[in-house]
Structure 1
Amino acid sequence: MTGVGERLQGAAYAAGWGLVRALPESLARAAFRSGADLAFRRNGPGVRRLRRNYARVVPQAGPEELDELVRAGVRSYSRFWMETFRLPGMDHKAIYEYLSERFVGLSLIDAALDRGRGLILALPHTGNFDVSGIWLVGHQGRFTTVNERLKPESLYQRFVGYRESLGFEILPTGGSAYRVLMERLRDNKVVCLLADRDLSRRGIAVDFFGEQTRMPAGPARLAAATGAQMLVVDNMFTEDGWALRVHTPILVNGRDEVASATQRMADGFAADIAAHPADWHMMQNLWLADLPAERRKALSGEPEGASESR
């Protein structure tokens, strides 16, 4: 993206946090739903990638059913952004109380922290994970997560400020983040990591809906290094709010179990995504089969000639 494009993108996000937050909720919902339906009809690259990804999740779906799923998925993604722009002004205590009545798996969180070695919550790009973070802050206090270093810097800082205003500790991606995450876990704190995509050589090869992809090694590596327990998080939209579930407790007894633990994490993600696929907002290429041949060759460990850009 050019410098001008980055500045325009930053200005658009700034307007979102200002204007959308000020709109009546009914008007904001209607506007974002209309925008989602327009994006669906235009069928741009992101929507086409979403269609390919959903076709793996529901291979039995015919064209009409897949169309309906893609439309619902774009609306769900649009809802995520609408809520993102409005969350700073919403009643966080009310969100915490709402989700507490619908939370499944609370005993797993408490048991993991009772062990005294920290907790790693691994989650895919589903539902609204910032809403789930508000619940976690209400239950446990501040937790730590990582935010991709966006461009321009002003946009990255805006996202950091937004998530810090919700009570999260935000670290930029990079070598020092891993060290800080280990420190937090050794202090018996909670670390949350988005973990359903890492198309680099650092990623761990997994089978996902019957095909090969790669997912981040970070959650399982941290668990192996610290003794922290991993849990899979299922973020869901409901018609009038949200629901939240944690499951699949995983202990990683050494580096030789990192790959198998990552596969168990992927299996947990797959079960949740299959149950409510429209809430999975994966508008990027994910499976290796969808990548250019040069990129697949680079990921296989063969001589490089492909870009690692995303």
Structure 2
Amino acid sequence: MSVVVEKAPGLRARAGAALTDAGFAAGWGAVKLLPEGLARRAFDAGAGWAARRDGSGTRMLRANLRVATGGKLSETELDELTVRGVRSYARYWREAFRLPTIPKDGIVGKTESPGVEHMEKSRSDGRPVILALPHSGNWDAAGVWFVDWLGGPFMTVAERLKPESLYRRFLEYRESLGMRVVPLTGGERPSSTVLREWLNDGRSVCLLMDRDLGSSGVPVSFFGRPTTMPGGAALLAAQTGAALHPVICQFREGGWRLMIHPEVPLDGGARLKDRVAVATQGVADAFVDSISAQPEDWHMLGRIWSDVQRDPPRRGVS
């Protein structure tokens, strides 16, 4: 009996992973073939269903948005914002499945980039740039714009998803957009080493920073509450002299917007640890400024504050 108990979860896990991979394969295979209008209506309908179902991700998103809006919204207003947030997240996935089929010029031409002069100054000084992003808008579309602006690829890091076939699918997808991807864990060499060498060669990097997946994050205040953020971007900037720029992706009607912030200085003290801490807080502050302006595009369905739990289930909703 004990042998059966041990094996059963593994079989279920493998079956679940296979179904997940098959679902993503179907998405990339089928959604990109749908007419744009039909795909939009289908994903909007799915987002409406997900919001009404009020699952754990939706309830965590609502709790996070309550913090991001300073607790100033009524529950009805917060519900409306959450629905917009779920629709925004659905738009990200609809575009992700279709992005490889959209001509690059069609993405670049529909992307606004207020603040791009900050990055242009860094580049004119002969420095590579590190873009620090939150999970907002469509960061893959932003990557297409960034590759075009750089005139070549940038490097980023990807979480090692399971099963391996799903990780490979995402790897191929992002590399088809012009990115170079290294795994966060499980690579032939540490990702930090690969990124540092890439920057020392004068090339640029993009890193998502608003959720700490490790155990050694940097303490910051984010929307007035304590949490941690990965300090890798600030550390790499300090080690290589690259310019650290927060960039927040947003959706707009028929296109995208990249809110590009000035370089975050690495002058927070004599010790490297202090400089990294101050710079990471600077990135968090920039995220707050732009997320606050369009919070529905912040796709944070995970827990990031230890004292903020997901909302309880609504009465009568499973």
TM-score (norm 2): 0.88
Q: Which residue of 2 aligns with 1:51?
A: 62
- Structure 2 letter corresponding to 1:114: S
Q: Which residue of 2 aligns with 1:19?
A: 30
Q: Which residue of 1 aligns with 2:226?
A: 212
Task: Quote the RMSD (CA, aligned, Å).
Answer: 1.4
Mapped to 1, the partners of 2:215 and 2:164 lie a distance apart of 26
The structural deviation recorded for 1:291 is 6.3
Q: Pick the aligned partner of 1:289 from 288, 291, 307.
A: 307
Tell me, yes or no, if the aligned pair for 1:120 and 1:230 is still in contact at 8 Å. yes
Q: Pick the aligned partner of 2:286 from 265, 268, 292.
A: 268
SS in 2 for 1:288: coil
Change in CA separation of 1:199 and 1:9 when aligned onto 2, cut-off 3 Å: closer
Q: Which residue of 2 aligns with 1:182?
A: 196
Mapped to 2, the partners of 1:38 and 1:217 lie a distance apart of 37
Q: How many residues align?
A: 290
The structural deviation recorded for 1:228 is 1.1
The structural deviation recorded for 1:239 is 1.8
Percent of aligned pairs with the same amino acid: 47
TM-score (norm 1): 0.91
Q: Pick the aligned partner of 2:95 from 83, 88, 94.
A: 83
Larger radius of gyration: 2
Mapped to 1, the partners of 2:200 and 2:125 lie a distance apart of 11
Farther off after superposition, 1-10 or 153-162: 1-10
SS in 2 for 1:121: strand
Q: Pick the aligned partner of 1:94 from 103, 106, 115.
A: 106
Q: Pick the aligned partner of 1:136 from 146, 156, 162.
A: 146
Q: Which residue of 2 aligns with 1:308?
A: none
The structural deviation recorded for 1:193 is 0.1
Residue 119 of structure 2 corresponds to residue 109 of structure 1? yes
The structural deviation recorded for 1:126 is 0.3
Mapped to 1, the partners of 2:240 and 2:273 lie a distance apart of 11
- The runs of 5 or more residues in structure 1 that have no matched partner are 293-310
Deviations 1:49-96 (A, max 9, x none): 001000101110001100100000000000000000000111112211
SS in 2 for 1:34: helix
The structural deviation recorded for 1:114 is 2.7
Mapped to 1, the partners of 2:101 and 2:213 lie a distance apart of 36
Q: Which residue of 2 aligns with 1:9?
A: 20
Mapped to 2, the partners of 1:223 and 1:288 lie a distance apart of 28
The structural deviation recorded for 1:290 is 3.0
Deviations 1:260-310 (A, max 9, x none): 111110000011111000000000011121369xxxxxxxxxxxxxxxxxx
- The runs of 5 or more residues in structure 2 that have no matched partner are 1-11, 311-318
Q: Pick the aligned partner of 1:63 from 72, 75, 78.
A: 75
SS in 1 for 2:259: strand
The structural deviation recorded for 1:117 is 3.5
Farther off after superposition, 154-163 or 223-232: 223-232
SS in 2 for 1:171: strand
